[in-house]
Amino acid sequence: MKMGMEITMNAVKRTIKWEDNKVVMVDQRKLPERLEMLTCISHYEVIDAIKSMAIRGAPAIGVAAAYGMALAANNIKVKSKAEFCSKLAVVKDELAHSRPTAVNLFWALDEIWKVITSSKSSVDELKERILSKANSLAEQDIKTNLSIGENGVRLFEDGDIILTHCNAGSLATVFYGTAIGVIRSVFQKKRNIKVFVDETRPVLQGARLTAWELKYDKIPFTLICDSVAGFLMYQKKITKIVVGADRIVTNGDTVNKIGTYSLSVLAKVHNIPFYVAAPTSTIDFNLKKGEDIPIEERSPEEVTTIMDKRIAPCHIAVHNPAFDITPNYNITAIITENGILEPPYEKTLKSFLTK
């Protein structure tokens, strides 16, 4: 698909979908220059897409992994159910090793696995059930995002100037987004808002993806270098911050794109509400605190080059963690599809989910 000013996410409808027994996704590496779709015919191609960030963002990679299972299931040509399941167990493990931090990936794989283990169906029926589960996870993601957006509105006012980091929009989900979903819903209800978008080095999800989404939605925004955010807060030019999440643990500590922690500290110093918007599938009750979450280290080239052009000397040490941990005490509230959580998160997260 060629880029045209009129071609937007609204034209594509979904970041990822199942079409003609293939997985079709927006190739996010090409944006904003071109809106191009990437077609995967095997789970190996889905793994490549996740690793190379053709698809990225916690909920989107969860759905990609689910569709990866559906592709693999279709491609396994055995009649014995035991053999089918043992082959799929290997696939599940391969998909689980595509990226380590966002818990939605493991959550979605577990959701698919429950279908496999809880069913007495034949191999052919199982293939259908796996695909139908993957499709329902995709649909559920959109509904969840719309509810997160709806729930978040009451935290914002007319005139708010909102800072966001990374891309937690349609492209990070199946559609609509989490943090950007909240901004979308606030804009629909209280039109007089403005947004600052951090460029989000090194992969530039803010500059390339969030700016692209907001532009086509006609939501007023200004793109800034990451280092500008603190000065804007000092100048009282930011009234609220909202970000997405890759994993939230039992005590409310939240892992999100590198740079989020610094923003939360600045927000605290400047008395600015700091909100996390995420689906409940991003909550990991198996882990107690932020330090337990594995943080992905990505390639040095993401730092030493920009758009394939080298910007640093060769043979130097580079540290490139993709995510950081925002401690629970820096988070004013967590906006989920089930409502808004406030501290103390150890209590509210648990009681809230069992409601």
Q: What is the x/- site pattern for ligand MRU, positions 194-223, by CB under 6 A?
A: -----------x------------------
Is 246 assigned a catalytic role? yes
Pick from 23, 31, 73, 102: which binds ligand MRU (CB under 6 A)?
102
Q: What is the distance between the alpha carbons of residues 234 and 266, in angstroms, rounded to a whole number?
A: 9
Pick from 210, 250, 256, 332: which binds ligand MRU (CB under 6 A)?
256
Looking only at the bridges linking them, the beta strands covering 323-326 and 254-257 are: antiparallel
Pick from 38, 59, 112, 330: which binds ligand MRU (CB under 6 A)?
59
Nearer to ligand MRU, 173 or 328 (CB): 173
**Contact flag: residue 57 with ligand MRU (CB under 6 A):** yes
Q: What is the distance between the alpha carbons of residues 23 and 75, in angstroms, rounded to a whole number?
A: 13
Give the DSSP H/E element, type plus range, for residue 196. strand 194-198
Residues with Cβ within 8 Å of residue 273, at least 6 apart in sequence: 155, 239, 240, 241, 267, 332, 333
Nearer to ligand MRU, 81 or 273 (CB): 273
Nearer to ligand MRU, 173 or 251 (CB): 173
With contacts defined by CB under 6 A, name the span among 216-224, 239-247, 287-295, 336-344 that binds ligand MRU: 239-247
Nearer to ligand MRU, 163 or 245 (CB): 245
Find, among 71, 75, 64, 135, the residue nearest to 98 by Cα: 64
With contacts defined by CB under 6 A, name the span among 29-37, 64-72, 88-96, 166-174 that binds ligand MRU: 166-174
Least separation in angstroms between residue 78's CB and ligand MRU is 34
> Could you identify the residue written with the tokens 């043979």?
315
Contacts (CB under 6 A) with ligand MRU, residues 264-323: 322
Residues constituting the chain: 355
**Of the listed 246, 253, 284, 324, which one is catalytic?**
246
Q: What is the distance between the alpha carbons of residues 69 and 115, in angstroms, rounded to a whole number?
A: 11
**Contact flag: residue 47 with ligand MRU (CB under 6 A):** no
For residue 259, how many other CB atoms are within 10 A of its CB?
Answer: 21
As a whole number of angstroms, the longest Cα–Cα distance in the chain is: 67
**Contact flag: residue 163 with ligand MRU (CB under 6 A):** no
**Contact flag: residue 38 with ligand MRU (CB under 6 A):** no
Pick from 245, 276, 283, 341: which binds ligand MRU (CB under 6 A)?
245
Count the residues of the shown chain that bind ligand MRU, applying the rule CB under 6 A. Answer: 17
**Contact flag: residue 49 with ligand MRU (CB under 6 A):** no
Find, among 278, 55, 260, 284, the residue nearest to 180 by Cα: 278
- Alpha-helical (H) ranges within 27-102 are 43-51, 58-75, 81-96
Pick from 15, 144, 151, 178: which binds ligand MRU (CB under 6 A)?
178
Least separation in angstroms between residue 168's CB and ligand MRU is 4
With contacts defined by CB under 6 A, name the span among 9-17, 35-43, 55-63, 75-83 that binds ligand MRU: 55-63
Pick from 68, 133, 257, 332: which binds ligand MRU (CB under 6 A)?
257
* 3-state class (DSSP) for residue 27: coil
* 3-state class (DSSP) for residue 100: coil
- Alpha-helical (H) ranges within the chain are 9-12, 43-51, 58-75, 81-96, 103-117, 123-152, 179-189, 205, 211-217, 229-234, 260-269, 301-304, 345-353
Contacts (CB under 6 A) with ligand MRU, residues 105-134: none
The residues that touch ligand MRU, with contacts defined as CB under 6 A, are 56-59, 102, 166, 168, 172-173, 178, 205, 244-246, 256-257, 322
**Positions marked catalytic:** 246
